[in-house]
Amino acid sequence: MRQFIIYLLMVSFITSTSAINGIVSDTCMKMMKLNLYYNTPVHFCVTALNSDPRSSNATNIQQLTEISFEMDISKAKSITVTIDNLLKNTTQHDNSTREAFNYCKQIYSFVSIELTAGLKALKAKNYETAFVVADTAFQGASICQLGLTKHMIGFSTFTRENTYFMHLASISASFLFPHN
């Protein structure tokens, strides 16, 4: 039932979008305002999606959501590499920092695998599964952020990357959020 409602919402949104050139801003405006749970600014959604050249060719929310998932996957993999580099530069004596980074690395390794499966579900129009995956990615990044804060690593470059990922994942989840 939930998939059917999401499908109807997507179809009605697609048919109500009149200007293809404005599909990114229109989609971001509508979806981010409908779902305040993730608290991602509309301008972040527009800027992030417009940074991917494929968005200029998107004609519907399905395509934008697929692009968003692909951006999530790419960023999750990039963050795993960043964590590896940070771990190499963290002294063996700084156990709490190493612990926080290792925990985040486990989360992001899992998240990138799950997002790939979520993209497949999205392409198969299994919107409920795709939503759960995107929401899990957002929650994982949130948990990572809590660990960083707990270990007083709150102002690092990695924290900014983690926050950026949380916003990216929230775009995918918001586009799929069951608005009923």
Which pLDDT does position 89 carry in this prediction? 81
Instruction: Supply the mean pLDDT for the chain.
Output: 84
- Nearest residue to 108 (alpha-carbon basis) of 63, 158, 38, 37: 158
Distant-in-sequence, close-in-space partners of 88: CB < 8 Å, separation ≥ 6: none
Which pLDDT does position 111 carry in this prediction? 96
Q: What is the pLDDT of residues 108-155, one digit of tens each?
A: 999 999 999 999 999 999 999 999 999 999 999 999 998 887 776 655
Distant-in-sequence, close-in-space partners of 89: CB < 8 Å, separation ≥ 6: none
Under 8 Å between Cβ of 113 and 140: no
* Tokens coding 154: 């709150």
14-23, 28-37, 57-66, 129-138: range with lowest mean pLDDT? 14-23
Considering the entire predicted model, what is its pTM? 0.83
Q: What is the pLDDT of residues 49-58, one digit of tens each?
A: 999 999 999 9
Under 8 Å between Cβ of 108 and 114: no
Mean pLDDT over 73-79 rounds to 96
Distant-in-sequence, close-in-space partners of 59: CB < 8 Å, separation ≥ 6: 20, 23
